Structure 1
Amino acid sequence: MRAVVDKDACIGCGLCIATEPEVFEMDDDGKAVSVADTTEENKDSVEACIEGCPTEAIHSEM
């Protein structure tokens, strides 16, 4: 599974980066971007990012 960030919806709040810094980073525009696949070890925290995103900008793809 890979988390995908909709850059048009992202407000750059940083919640996902604070929750799972191995998967999410900020780009040069101050928006979150997914930089790694979801693993069994970080699956729960990535799902928390998806559910907790205040603008629902994160979703998952297989």
Structure 2
Amino acid sequence: MKVTVDQDKCIAAGHCVMHAGAVFDQRDDDGVVILLDANPPSELAADVRHAAAMCPALAIQIEE
């Protein structure tokens, strides 16, 4: 799994951090997503997929 984020699309809703905090964080100043792990381990795959599905801005892309 390879994860990418589009910070320009991000609206700082924070759903990604709530669902996969080991993979995503938010900038302190504006809440925009920060990708912590572009290649998360397989045990986090379901959480990352859920985070991507919950993103209201569709700012998270996943390549399997």
Q: TM-score range by the shorter chain?
A: 0.7 to 0.9
Match of 1:9 in 2: 9
Query: What is the TM-score of this pair, normalised by structure 1?
Result: 0.85
Consecutive unaligned residues of structure 2, counting only runs of 5 or more, are: none
**Sequence identity, in percent?**
32
Where does structure 1 differ by over 6 angstroms across 4 or more consecutive aligned residues? none
Consecutive unaligned residues of structure 1, counting only runs of 5 or more, are: none
Secondary structure of the structure 2 residue equivalent to 1:42 = helix
Query: What is the TM-score of this pair, normalised by structure 2?
Result: 0.83
Match of 2:20 in 1: 20
Q: For 1:17 and 1:33, how far apart are their aligned partners in 2?
A: 9
CA RMSD of aligned residues (A): 1.5
